[in-house]
Amino acid sequence: MHTTETIDDIHSWLRLACITKMGFARLSKTAEALRTPLHTIHKTNHDQLLQLGWQVGQIDAVKGRCAKTEHRIKKAIKWLESTSRRHVLHIGHPDYPKALLDTASPPIVLFAEGKLDLLNYSMLAMVGTRSPTQYAYDVAESLLPAFYGYADFATISGLALGVDAICHRTSLAHGIPTVAVLGCGIDLVYPKRHQQLQQDIAASGLLLSEFFPGVKPQAFNFPRRNRLISALSDAVLISEGRIKSGTMVTVKYAIEQNKEVLVVPSSIFNPNGELALQLIKDGATPVTSASDIVEAVPAFHNFALNINNSPKNADKPLASDPLLDSVDASGTSVDVIAKRSGMSVVDVLTQLLEYELRGLVSSTAEGYVKLRG
């Protein structure tokens, strides 16, 4: 256990989170009507809950009489107790993010792994397309290193392909804490290629999910995840993205939550730049430097930026690596890499996968691009 709570207390909160068609607003109305704390609703008489409009299945779930619910809770408790770095944060828990209470539908519980103190940090969200060009990599490398060294600054994103991964990897490479909000159970890895990245974030940053362990990624999970990213941040930064996309969903949440929306201008010839250009037309704040971010976001006003003062990567030198030398800063096809390096296509693909997991290269729609080394 991670607080003075008993296992029964945690069970009570987990059961509340399992009830179908029963969000925080309705649970609060029930607790108010009964004049009882939220987590003690399970002690209420069956008939009283029926009179308040609860269905029999909902009552069974909260009272521990639903086998499916109990199985989910047992799995969650097993996940929780496997290491002291894992936590179940419920509404009312001292570490539950207060920013989420201001949203329309705060999660009843959050599953967390890593450094909980990051929840008190000022956060910059970086979100965007899953198919970035080199421009998105350059933007991250240009802006984020300046924030190195601040004990109260972190980045936050969704651990997806593309800009999300760029945000997390660039942050880790420059010693900046990063928070990843998952669109699936916290015990799962999605996408699979981010296994090492997810482990690195759990070790030095923070993983969050409102989904119970074992919940698989579903399309409708990701908008729910996006509302948490924007709510936990002080500002949302867009580098590359499309107007009809999950990025726009995050922007809409940010606007509803009164968060700063920051946009890096893009070329009119870049399809991934359409969202940025439209947002600037709509009044979003354009940024071209880390200083612009600091000026635009009140929570960052006390930051004296460390321009060109980020830590160097500690990995062994790779400048003489024939494979890495064959990958350009712009998209390079596997055939071209194989021809340049003198390696077989099979060996190239195997090595590129390892380098991608280490954050040295990234796969884009245009081919592989070199990130560092």
In a domain, 258, yes or no: yes
Q: Which amino acid is at 97?
A: P
Between residues 102 and 4, the one the model is more confident about: 102
Chain centroid offset of residue 142 CA:
21
Note whether 134 and 248 are same-domain residues.
Answer: yes
pLDDT over 90 (residue 11): yes
Note whether 145 and 48 are same-domain residues.
Answer: no
User: CB-based contacts of 151: which residues, under 8 Å, 6+ apart?
Assistant: none
Take residue 279 and report the two structure tokens written for it: 């947002």
Note whether 293 and 240 are same-domain residues.
Answer: yes
In a domain, 98, yes or no: no
Across the range 150-154, mean pLDDT stands at 90
Note whether 272 and 215 are same-domain residues.
Answer: yes
Read off the CATH number of the domain in which 270 is found: 3.40.50.450
Between residues 100 and 1, the one the model is more confident about: 100
In a domain, 106, yes or no: no
* 113, β-bridge pairs: 86, 207
User: With contact defined as beta carbons under 8 Å apart, do 3 and 88 qualify?
Assistant: no
Note whether 202 and 291 are same-domain residues.
Answer: yes
- What total of structural domains would you count in the chain? 3
Domain of residue 24, residue span = 7-83
Take residue 295 and report the two structure tokens written for it: 């000026």
Note whether 135 and 202 are same-domain residues.
Answer: yes
In a domain, 142, yes or no: yes
Task: Tell me how far apart the alpha carbons of residues 225 and 327 are, in angstroms, rounded to a whole number.
Answer: 34
Note whether 16 and 146 are same-domain residues.
Answer: no
* Position 4 confidence tier, pLDDT thresholds 50, 70, 90: low
pLDDT at 92: 85
Dihedral sign for Cα 16, 19, 22, 23, please: positive
In a domain, 121, yes or no: yes
Note whether 242 and 187 are same-domain residues.
Answer: yes
Note whether 181 and 267 are same-domain residues.
Answer: yes
Note whether 197 and 245 are same-domain residues.
Answer: yes
Note whether 332 and 194 are same-domain residues.
Answer: no
Task: Tell me how far apart the alpha carbons of residues 349 and 181 are, in angstroms, rounded to a whole number.
Answer: 29
Chain centroid offset of residue 346 CA:
33
Q: List, as own/partner pairs, every contact residues 246-252 make where C-beta atoms lie below 8 angstroms and the sequence separation is at least 24, other chains included.
A: 246/127, 246/160, 246/222, 247/127, 247/128, 247/129, 247/163, 247/275, 248/275, 249/222, 249/223, 250/125, 250/127, 250/226, 251/275, 251/279
pLDDT over 60 (residue 3): no
Across the range 156-177, mean pLDDT stands at 96
pLDDT over 70 (residue 96): yes
Task: Tell me how far apart the alpha carbons of residues 202 and 208 are, in angstroms, rounded to a whole number.
Answer: 10
Take residue 284 and report the two structure tokens written for it: 């979003």
In a domain, 153, yes or no: yes
Give tens-digit pLDDT for 345-358.
878 887 888 787 76
pLDDT over 60 (residue 307): no
Note whether 326 and 212 are same-domain residues.
Answer: no
Give tens-digit pLDDT for 71-92.
999 999 999 999 999 999 999 8
* 72, β-bridge pairs: none
Give tens-digit pLDDT for 222-235.
999 999 999 999 99
pLDDT at 373: 54
In a domain, 97, yes or no: no
Length of the chain, in residues: 373
Tell me, what DSSP letter sits at residue 144?
Answer: G
